[in-house]
Structure 1
Amino acid sequence: MTPLGGDGGAGSPATGWPRYNRIAMQPADYVGPGQVAWFQFTIQAPATAGYYRLYLRPLIEGATWLEDFGVFWLVTVLNADGSRPAPPQTGLGYSYQSVSTVRGTFNVHLIKERLLAVTVKTLTANTTDCSNNCPAKPLDQYASENGAYAGMNGTYLCPPDYAQCAGKVNSYDYAVYNSNLRRWINYNALNAQNGGLFFNGASTSAYRRTFVYFQNQTPINAAITNFPLLVLNGSVIDSTSEQNGSQMLKGTKGAIGVDGTYVYLAIVTNATVTDSAFVMQALGARDALNLDGGGTAAMWIGGSYKVGPGRLLPNAIVLTKP
């Protein structure tokens, strides 16, 4: 039995790997081309609950060319009572990481910043409600026009490359508060269908049905609605019965989340909308809203795209710093 993570002692002189960071195997019979060999082993979990990466690769002393081959799993070590440990802390700024959830492990492009250190702005290319041939621009233009540090795409839109969008190109059926104009675009879309995330400085609020905000409005300086709300008060919202076919297909999904301290901009790969909800919960978001993905997905930070640029956008979210 080998302890996960090693003991810090000296190990292989050829590779420099610490002792017990590798699983020692007795010499095995020769495995030829097309043949299969089975190996079994037991790993002792660390004493501290948390999230650990288990990396398996073949290693033969002196055969350094093998070191580039292997596979890894994200291993969750539960608390003594069987509960899951607190989500791992991620660094600020941009990261690309694998996130373990009850629905599997997903790769995520993530921008995470302290709410007190940035200003969240929700922006629209149109200054009034628009139903066809609406103005749209690339994400980096939204960023440059606002002196932004980072940003990502916004709501679902009707793109010009969809035949069913003839007569409503670049329109969107969701309410977005234009932070620069200080007014709502598509105000009447604050309704019983769409969810929303609302910002007043570093204070945030979320609604599964935005007509609740419509009835009891509070001051805001940024807000965006879309469907569905993914997470509310730390719990995943199961909206599967209300989702359309594309939302239930694996693909690239966007999301924005908050937890009272941080704002999360995320693009999840090879996921359904419900998968994305569990990813946002695992990242630590208390509230999270689904955003557009697929060919619209775009994420920009520090002068370059991490995802995209994707399609031209009629609305977007940016983060500015003092």
Structure 2
Amino acid sequence: MIARAASALLVASWLVVGPTPAAQAAPATATCTSSVGPGIPPPAGLAAGVPGFHAQWYGQSGYPTLCPGERSTATVAYYNSGSRGWVNGRMGEVAYLGTWGPEPGQDQVTPLGGDGTNGSPATGWPRYNRIAIQPAPYVGPSQVAWFQFTIQAPVQAGSYRLYLRPLVEGATWLEDFGVFWLVTVLNADGTPPSPPAPPVLGTGYGFQNVATARGTFGVHLVKERLADVTVKTLTANTTECLNNCPAKPLAQYAAETNAYAGMNGTYLCPPDYAACAGKVNSYDYAVYNSTLRRWLNYNALNGQNGLLAFNGTTTSVYRRSFVYFQQQTPVTAAITNYPLLLQNGAVISSEAEQSASQLAKGTKGAIGVDGTYVYLVIATNANVTDLAYVMQALGARDGLNLDGGGTAAMWIGGSYKVGPGRLLPNAIVLTKP
């Protein structure tokens, strides 16, 4: 189990140190042996005192490999980054972990645990779709709660995922950091399960488990031929804006352009960040408004950020946007952000320049191209470098990091696949003839 000094660590009296198979585990064959992988450490930096109810993922125990029917204890820590405490036993203030999508889906039943109702196994969860309750009577701002729950391996060998998200019951879901448990169930003789089918890389939307040299990541992907869609970059503001800037849901951008699909754009300064007082919904990146046919935040082009540009179906990419600024060519859509992830198929090394939030695991967004296809991507439980390897594994040749976390949004065919997340000052959409 991971550990880290904090202002307070709140743990129930029954907390077990590290994920271990429970004593009541179902008997396994003599040749089947379970194991637990290494824990995932906490992020380097944490926000604090955000108005209202908020949470920051703080770390978790490792992924288990189990024999059929065996049980294991899992631990995940969340830091209370909001201004309000979590109060056990009080509706509208008590914190739980709930089941989340894509596997099994929001508030859906899972074969990995539950309370014995709705077809779930009885593993001691508060409800079939509530994985755990806060382990202490009160979790104050800037305190850490270590949630614990029991997972039971299904009898069928294979790879299973349990996505979870914290919530304050009766009030709101808290931030989605793409947290999940990967549970590998061995065959009865202890041999590994058959490998999962390779990802489907056709066009349209799909959720895939993408294997990379840095691990396997759950990925929401919209992939379309550049010849079949028009890529548009859009802004809510029509003039330069520094504070209280216009912003709108991704679905509104799509409706206004009759778009087929879209996702969030650059990093922004959201209203729920104390540091953003005086610059709410502003963004420090140059974006070409395809409808207005001009740049917003034009001066930001002369900077160190990455740039992905489109001129119809022709694409160009720059690790540093000032190179384009010095010798500009026509574009129909373009967006800057930091960092560039891929160039000519190679991962760009940028960790030395990344922020703490970029180095931390969470939900990350990106756009990529390969000369034939455009890729809109939201990866779960990844950091920015992981995201670069995901883009490479998907087949993109060039890729640019976008915003993620609480801003992450992906929309296609009239509904959200991720989000809606925050209101957006800019977005990317795909239109079809």
TM class by shorter chain equals: 0.7 to 0.9
Please tell me the residue identity of whatever aligns with 1:289: L
Residue in 2 that maps onto 1:21: none
Residue in 1 that maps onto 2:31: 39
**3-state SS of 1:275 partner:** helix
Please tell me the residue identity of whatever aligns with 1:39: T
Please tell me the residue identity of whatever aligns with 2:425: P
Q: CA deviation at 1:70?
A: 4.0
**3-state SS of 1:116 partner:** coil
For the pair 1:122 / 2:233, whether they are aligned, the reply is yes
For the pair 1:321 / 2:432, whether they are aligned, the reply is yes
**3-state SS of 2:377 partner:** strand
Mark the CA change 1:178 to 1:103 in structure 2 (over 3 Å): closer, same or farther: same
Mark the CA change 1:151 to 1:97 in structure 2 (over 3 Å): closer, same or farther: same
Residue in 1 that maps onto 2:387: 276
Please tell me the residue identity of whatever aligns with 2:240: D
Tell me, in whole angstroms, the C-alpha distance in 2 between the residues paired with 1:74 and 1:220: 47
User: Is the Cα–Cα contact under 8 Å of residues 236 and 281 in structure 1 kept in the other structure?
Assistant: yes
Please tell me the residue identity of whatever aligns with 2:31: F
User: Is the Cα–Cα contact under 8 Å of residues 68 and 156 in structure 2 kept in the other structure?
Assistant: no
Tell me, in whole angstroms, the C-alpha distance in 2 between the residues paired with 1:111 and 1:209: 26
Q: CA deviation at 1:36?
A: 5.3
For the pair 1:207 / 2:318, whether they are aligned, the reply is yes
Instruction: Give the TM-score normalised by structure 1.
Output: 0.77
As a proportion of its length, which structure holds more helix? Answer: 1
Residue in 1 that maps onto 2:419: 308
Give RMSD over aligned pairs.
Answer: 2.5
**3-state SS of 1:143 partner:** helix
Structure 1 unaligned residues grouped into runs of 5+: 1-30, 42-54, 60-64, 77-86
**3-state SS of 1:117 partner:** coil
Please tell me the residue identity of whatever aligns with 1:215: Q
For the pair 1:146 / 2:276, whether they are aligned, the reply is no
Q: CA deviation at 1:190?
A: 1.1
Deviations 1:110-160 (A, max 9, x none): 000000000000000000111000000000000000000000000000000
Larger radius of gyration: 1
Residue in 2 that maps onto 1:295: 406
**3-state SS of 1:141 partner:** helix
For the pair 1:258 / 2:369, whether they are aligned, the reply is yes
Q: CA deviation at 1:39?
A: 3.1
Residue in 1 that maps onto 2:215: 104
Deviations 1:229-287 (A, max 9, x none): 00000000010000000000000000000000000000000000000000000000000
Q: CA deviation at 1:193?
A: 1.6
Instruction: Give the TM-score normalised by structure 2.
Output: 0.58
For the pair 1:157 / 2:268, whether they are aligned, the reply is yes
Greater RCO (CA < 8 Å, at least 6 residues apart) = 1
Structure 2 unaligned residues grouped into runs of 5+: 1-22, 34-64, 70-120, 122-153, 160-183, 185-192
User: Is the Cα–Cα contact under 8 Å of residues 153 and 297 in structure 1 kept in the other structure?
Assistant: yes
**3-state SS of 2:251 partner:** helix
Tell me, in whole angstroms, the C-alpha distance in 2 between the residues paired with 1:89 and 1:283: 10
The number of residues matched between the two structures is: 264
Mark the CA change 1:303 to 1:88 in structure 2 (over 3 Å): closer, same or farther: closer
